[in-house]
Amino acid sequence: MRYGIIRVFALLFILVGVAFAQQTQIKTEWVLVGGQPIHWDSPPRDAHLPVKTSRATILVFYPNGDFTSLGCLLIRQKDGSVLISHGDGFVVSAGHWKQDANAVTITSRVVYRTMPMTGDPNPEAEEQQVFALRVVDGRWDLRLSGKTYLPMPEMKDLNTLGAFTAARYDKR
């Protein structure tokens, strides 16, 4: 009986920890968007939509060393704010990051795709990327394979980003 109670409390402690981790509010300063400059596309004129869209990869660097990324479609509103599309496919990667003098190394794996690739395991194989790092006005500027990842203060959809990337706790 005593061990049963201990197990129940241990399970409760773990579940509370996972729930707390999933509710971590993402802060703007943890987020970089690439590959910049973003090339915005307009919808067909007859759609009469005052928005532009672009594919992008969003990198999230948590202060504790955790990392997530979201490959998605961004929507730039008429007022300039940027949102993540809820109706298009996306890819979530999760892992860890570390910084040294002139580089940021990310070790991650794809943990979720809205459209799974036939024959690929889930989660997919781990990969490592080493980004060149420059600090400009106290903010990161990362470069890899001709793509630049920069802050995007006009992105106002951090709650959606948090919800989409919460899969990092469920799939690792």
Instruction: Give me the pLDDT at residue 124, please.
Output: 82
Cβ of 163: how many Cβ atoms within 10 Å? 14
Q: Is residue 21 part of a domain?
A: no
Q: Is residue 11 part of a domain?
A: no
Asked if the model's pLDDT at residue 4 lies above 80, the reply is no
Q: 73 lies in which domain range?
A: 27-171
Instruction: Give me the pLDDT at residue 9, please.
Output: 37
Q: Is residue 69 part of a domain?
A: yes
CA dist 23 and 16 (Å) reads 11
Percent of the chain with pLDDT over 90: 54
CA dist 42 and 165 (Å) reads 27
Instruction: Give me the pLDDT at residue 82, please.
Output: 94
Instruction: Give tens-digit pLDDT for 68-122.
Output: 999 999 999 999 999 999 889 899 999 999 999 899 999 999 988 887 767 666 6
Closest CA to 151 of 59, 18, 25: 59
Domain count, the chain: 1
Instruction: Give tens-digit pLDDT for 121-152.
Output: 667 889 999 999 999 898 999 999 999 999 99
Instruction: Give me the pLDDT at residue 168, please.
Output: 52
Q: Is residue 36 part of a domain?
A: yes
Instruction: Give me the pLDDT at residue 16, please.
Output: 35
Q: Is residue 139 part of a domain?
A: yes
Q: Is residue 58 part of a domain?
A: yes
Q: Is residue 160 part of a domain?
A: yes
CA dist 152 and 145 (Å) reads 20
Q: Is residue 103 part of a domain?
A: yes
pLDDT band at 2 (very low <50, low <70, confident <90, very high): low
More confident of the two residues 121 and 16: 121
